[in-house]
Amino acid sequence: MAGPFAGAPPMKPVAIGVDFGTSNTVIAAVGADGSSAVMKVTSRLGAGAALPSILCFRPSEPNPRDRPISSAGAEAIADYISRTGPARLVQSMKSFLGSRAFVDTKVFGHTYTLESLIGTLLQHLYEATGAHALLSQAPLVIGRPIEFAGASPDDNLAQTRLMAAFESAGRTADRVGLEPEAAAYAFASRARGRHLVLVADLGGGTSDFSIVEVDADGEQPKLTPLAQTGIGIAGDRFDYQIVYNAVCPALGMGSQFQPETKKLPIPLWIYANFSSWHQLSMMNNRQTLRHITDILRTAVDSQAFEGLVHVIRNEEGFSLFQAVSRVKQTLTAQDTARLNFKAGPIEIDRTIARKEFEQWIADDLSRIEATADEAVRIASVAPGNLTRVFMTGGTALVPAVRELFAKKFGAEKLIGGDEFSSVAQGLALMGVPRGC
């Protein structure tokens, strides 16, 4: 059965699972007794159950020609915030897996492919958890969403890149498991009896659903997947809506510029990219900056647009999305939250009501709901016959999301727990050899 956050990994695991997520990455192991547990991530700042999927690069001193020095997770955040010199933050790498537009990026003059960036993060994960020695002792199962995030993602490219990233980190995966199916394994490990379950894995980049028959009457639970569906909409999209609706209007969105004799609206694609963290982090390049600074020269509301340019040029996107994340977290427990953020000459200080936030994400919720409905349809089951709705992932904690599923399937059927670690534990359980 699934166990809680573990202090130390098993001496000799029978299987290992890694959930590389948009926001967090978790590694879990199954011991000889059949229980799964998350490996503790240690750092100079303490310990936790997950490694934030963030890298910070700093130039190598005293020789900048050497590869940059990297840190990951909480240490990366601390290094970036306390920087006294140049630093580069890389986040939401999973969102680029299916994009052919992302080939590589320059970090202080050194070229990094997406696979090498993810591989660097995984190496830090293995080091922080002491997993290096264990990886050669047991099967490794890694997770993937039903549908990768992004506009028209290339599924084959995304999975190939994901596999290559793990290989570059030193360990080829033995199996790739679907993340909602892995969550079903975590549910089955602690269930009793027979259930028809809708598993809702609601993470940072994607929302995935699986309908599973679970027979937990025997010593080993039996799972029969009936349907899987997914969509590239989840917590990051909710962050996008807060930035687009609450921040961008203060930074010149809807305003105009006058390149010649006629006034033109400032292109909305600038604000669409600005509102998406993984796109914003790539806007600080010579071509994009040249384009937006040309607009700044003739912007009607030059001060507001200067605030947007300031965030991009000074790489303050992380601070912006930290402020947005705090708003979203506050709104899970309170009816209002305060957004405070300074962007060069502009200071944004406003209260956001939960009802207002829910209006912004209404279309996204509808698309998530339709994806869940599609899973039920494919499985050819009546919604009333579902006995449990197992909700996992950080976005499962958003009140509007829980209310949606409660109204549709009944609040009494909703269960959760281990929202940030159940997929990793389930992946490890999927890797247990038969007979163990």
Q: 9-26 pLDDT, tens per residue? A: 556 899 999 999 999 999
**291 in helix, strand or coil?**
helix
Q: What residues does each domain of the chain span?
A: 2-177+425-430
Q: What is the pLDDT at residue 286? A: 86
Q: CA–CA separation, 18 vs 138, rounded Å?
A: 13
Helices (H), 83-226: 114-129, 155-168, 179-189
Instruction: Look at residues 235, 232, 149, 225 and name the one whose alpha carbon lies nearest to residue 180.
Output: 225
The pLDDT tens digits of the residues spanning 247-299 come to: 999 999 999 999 988 999 999 999 999 999 888 988 888 899 999 999 999 99
Average pLDDT rounded to a whole number, residues 159-163: 98
**214 in helix, strand or coil?**
strand
Q: CA–CA separation, 89 vs 79, rounded Å?
A: 10
Q: What is the mean pLDDT of the chain?
A: 93
Instruction: Look at residues 319, 401, 329, 409 and name the one whose alpha carbon lies nearest to residue 366.
Output: 401
The answer, yes or no, to whether residue 7 has pLDDT greater than 60, is no
Q: What is the pLDDT at residue 5? A: 41
**Alpha-carbon dihedral sign for residues 283, 21, 412, 380:** positive
Q: What is the pLDDT at residue 150? A: 84
Listed in sequence order, the residues at least 6 apart from 331 whose beta carbon sits closer than 8 Å to its beta carbon are 337, 352, 354, 357, 398, 399
Q: CA–CA separation, 337 vs 342, rounded Å?
A: 17
Q: CA–CA separation, 238 vs 225, rounded Å?
A: 29
**433 in helix, strand or coil?**
coil
Task: Give CATH superfamily name and number for 2-177+425-430.
Answer: ATPase, nucleotide binding domain (3.30.420.40)
The answer, yes or no, to whether residue 3 has pLDDT greater than 80, is no
Q: What is the pLDDT at residue 8? A: 55
Q: What is the pLDDT at residue 11? A: 63
Instruction: Look at residues 356, 358, 425, 359 and name the one whose alpha carbon lies nearest to residue 390.
Output: 425
Q: What is the pLDDT at residue 281? A: 80
Instruction: Look at residues 69, 73, 89 and name the one whose alpha carbon lies nearest to residue 25.
Output: 73
How would residue 1 be classed by pLDDT, with cut points 50, 70 and 90? Answer: very low
Q: What is the pLDDT at residue 121? A: 98
The pLDDT tens digits of the residues spanning 76-111 come to: 999 998 988 889 999 899 999 999 988 899 899 899
